[in-house]
Amino acid sequence: MTTAMSSADQVPDATEPAATEPAESAPVPATPGYAMPTLDDFADAAATLEGVISHTPLEESQHLSDVLGVPVHLKLENLQRTGSFKIRGATYRLSRLTAEERARGVVAASAGNHAQGVAMAAKALGIPATIFMPLGVPVPKLLATRGYGADVVLEGATVETPLRLAAEFAERTGAVFIHPFDHPDVIAGQGTLGLELMDELPDLDTVVLGIGGGGLVAGVAAAVKARAAAEGRTVRVVGVQAENSAAYPASLEAGRPLEVRTSPTIADGIAVARPGDLPFEIIRDLVDEVVTVSEDDIARALLVLLERAKQVVEPAGAVGVAAILAGKVVANGPTVTVLSGGNIDPLLLQRVVAHGLSASGRYMTLRIPLPDRPGQLARVSELLAIAGANVIEVLHTRHGQGLQISEVILQLSVETRGEEHRAHVISVLEDAGYTPTVVPD
């Protein structure tokens, strides 16, 4: 695997025109210095990382096994040092810098996990690190990055501004830009996870992983496919993207990386508008399928992981579980999905859990217009009790747009036991003459 500087070392051009439709069968441009990583590359990375990273647990999930119909295991990279797999690629990339490059320092741009990986690796190797992060970065990720000793600069509303500033900083100071996914050493470092999976589950059939820029999936796919081929068998690899930020399906159809328009997603850790050049070539050649999941799918997955697996996982780290729960994955044998990160802001976790409960039919907020006369609140409460709904919160007001003088609005948040029970609660109220409306999340 070459480590020569190439276009993969450069910051992605955030001003490149976005595309919503794939181009007409354009030829794939050759990536300068591109070479498919080999088992020797991954073995070298694994040796370098020994004693630095944690060999995270692999635990079977009975619930997901029942859903998929084959044994499903969770690879707990949310328990990795720095809370995500990013420490693997960052450490290996920095370990291969020359003495002269280390003296110049490193610079990166990130909204969280890559920042922590680079900061920790730089501290361990004695390399000065500057990290540019957007102003809205979750506080735990900001504090952790600073805690590892990096000089953190906050600027811009989205990661595009930090990317531009990091490129300018590298040009101005000579610092080495550490790309989060588009470099052969980063891919080799992430691919050590694939070797662990093959060692821990010798009869592995399918791996399900989230995709952002593609570094993790490219590395794991190359590692498990090479190891499986050496053993005379095959392993399927399925990539998962959030529907609101899915650059790979259109890019794979076009045959080249495309920049696509994205919408906000709770899975901000994989919200990348354009595939990396090197990961794209590997994913195009080795990944069997790329599927997408909705925001509701992701929220439900986080809730399942909290309740069934007792694991705290950030939304981007749970998309593989989301795909299994949504019926987007088919497997014929033992399957692993990687929980790729656990760095979730507690405030976001609170909102996501509420959304997940609602998406699972276990929580809803109702608005009910009532005649302004005594006994109506008691009557509605009685009906909810008969229906078996647990009232969490109540708002009773005479003030509201469109209300008649003789009307009040009752807004209730109630706990239900699933979609069927939720429908039953609404039906009981409607049969009693009320007109409840479910308030969107």
Catalytic residue annotation: 86, 340
DSSP codes, 26-88:
PPPPPPTT-----HHHHHHHHHHHTTTS----EEE-HHHHHHHSS-EEEE-GGGSGGGBTHHH
Tokens standing for 297?
């799918």
Q: Is 133 helix (H, G, I), strand (E, B) or coil?
A: strand
Name the residue type at position 81. Answer: R
CA-CA distance, 216 to 237, in Å (whole number)?
12
> Cβ–Cβ contacts within 10 Å for residue 257, how many?
26
Contact 21, 250 (CB under 8 A): yes
In terms of C-beta density within 10 A (0-12 exposed, 13-18 middle, 19 or more buried), how is residue 378 classed?
exposed
Name the residue type at position 103. Answer: A
Name the residue among 134, 129, 102, 126 with its Cα closest to residue 118: 129
CA-CA distance, 169 to 174, in Å (whole number)?
8
DSSP state of 332: S
Name the residue among 338, 384, 346 with its Cα closest to residue 365: 384
CA-CA distance, 269 to 272, in Å (whole number)?
8
DSSP state of 15: T
